[in-house]
Amino acid sequence: MKRAAIIQSCYIPWKGYFDIINSVDEFVLYDDAQYTKNDWRNRNLIKVPSGTLWLTIPVGISRRFGQAVREVPVRDGRWARRHWKSLRTYYARAHHFDEFSSRLDALYDQAQREDLLTNVNELFIRAICEWLGISTRISRSSEYACQGDRTERLVSLCHQLAAEEYLTGPAARNYLDEGQFLRSGIRVRWMDYGGYPVHRQRYSPPFIHQVSILDLLLNEGAAGAREFLLSTPESRATPCVAEVSCSSPL
C-alpha cells in the first residue's frame, strides 16, 4: 500500500518533518500552495543560551493575493553567511559539529546563490535526508495537474501518485475533510509527535523539541540522529478514529 505526504517546504525543518518523510513512499513539497507569512516556510529556531533564536531568510512578499510558495523570491543573499555564522557561534562545541561543518559550509555557499525560497528549502531538505539515510522519493506539487479546493487538490495528488494512504500532521485537522479522502478510497493517517525522547542538547535545561533538525544532527551525529528518529516511525502514524465518522473532532 503506497503512502504519501504533501506538505509545504520549510527552512531547515524540525525532526518531526523528517519523521514524516521517512514514513512515506513519496513526499510532495506543496510548492503551489499559498505562501503564509510569519510561518516556518522561511525561518526556524536554533538553541542558544537564552532559549531559542530565529534564523529567518529575507523574502519578497507580493501584494497580489494568493502568492504561491514557488513564487517567493529570496532577498539579500547575505542571509546565508549570517545563518552559518550563527550556527558556528552556538554549535561549535556540540559533540558532532565537526562531522557537519564542511558540509554545512558548502550547503550555505550553494544556498546563497538561489533566487527562490522553494529552491533553498528543497536544497536543505534533500541534503538532510541524505545525511539521515532517508531514501523517500521527493517531488513538487507543481509537477502535477491539480484543481479544486484544498482537500480536492490533495486527493487529486494522491490519485496521481497512486497513493492509498495519506499521512499528515495534526495541524491539518483544522481544515482537512477526511470524509472526502475516504470516499475517494484513500485512508488518512495522522502523525503523532508525542513521545519523542530528549537527546543531547546544548544550553539545556530546558530541553526544547521544537527547533531545527540541525540541533539533533550537530549534537548526536548522523548515526545517533538516525537511531533516535528513524527506528520506529510506524508507531507514531495513527489512522483516523473511525471510517464512518472520520471527520469528528475526536
CB 45 within 8 A of CB 211: yes
Q: What is the pTM of this model?
A: 0.91
CB neighbour list of residue 63: distance below 8 Å, 6 or more residues apart: none
Which residue has cell 482537500?
151
**The predicted structure's pLDDT at residue 248:** 24
To the nearest whole number, what is the mean pLDDT of the chain?
Answer: 90
Higher-confidence residue of 63 and 180: namely 180
Residue 82 has pLDDT above 90, yes or no: yes
Higher-confidence residue of 27 and 64: namely 27
**The predicted structure's pLDDT at residue 234:** 52
**Gyration radius (Cα) of the chain, Å:** 18
How do residues 157-178 score in pLDDT, each as one tens digit?
999 999 999 999 998 888 899 9
- Domain parsing of the chain, residue ranges: 3-245
Which residue has cell 495537474?
145
Return d(Cα 149, Cα 154) in angstroms, integer: 9
Of the ranges 7-16, 23-32, 101-110, 148-157, which one carries the lowest mean pLDDT score?
148-157
Return d(Cα 199, Cα 97) in angstroms, integer: 15
How do residues 179-223 score in pLDDT, each as one tens digit?
999 999 999 999 988 888 899 999 999 999 999 999 999 999 999
Neighbours of 172 (CB within 10 A): 18
Please give the DSSP secondary-structure letter assigned to residue 27.
E
Please report how the helices 15-22 and 117-132 are oriented relative to each other, as an axis angle in degrees rounded to 10.
Answer: 70
Q: How many CA atoms lie within 13 A of 161 on its CB side?
A: 29
**Cα–chain-centroid distance for residue 185?**
26
**The predicted structure's pLDDT at residue 237:** 56
Closest CA to 132 of 216, 211, 199, 26: 216
How do residues 115-160 score in pLDDT, each as one tens digit?
999 999 999 999 999 999 999 999 999 999 887 788 999 999 999 9
Neighbours of 5 (CB within 10 A): 26
| β partners of residue 29 | 7, 140
**The predicted structure's pLDDT at residue 4:** 98
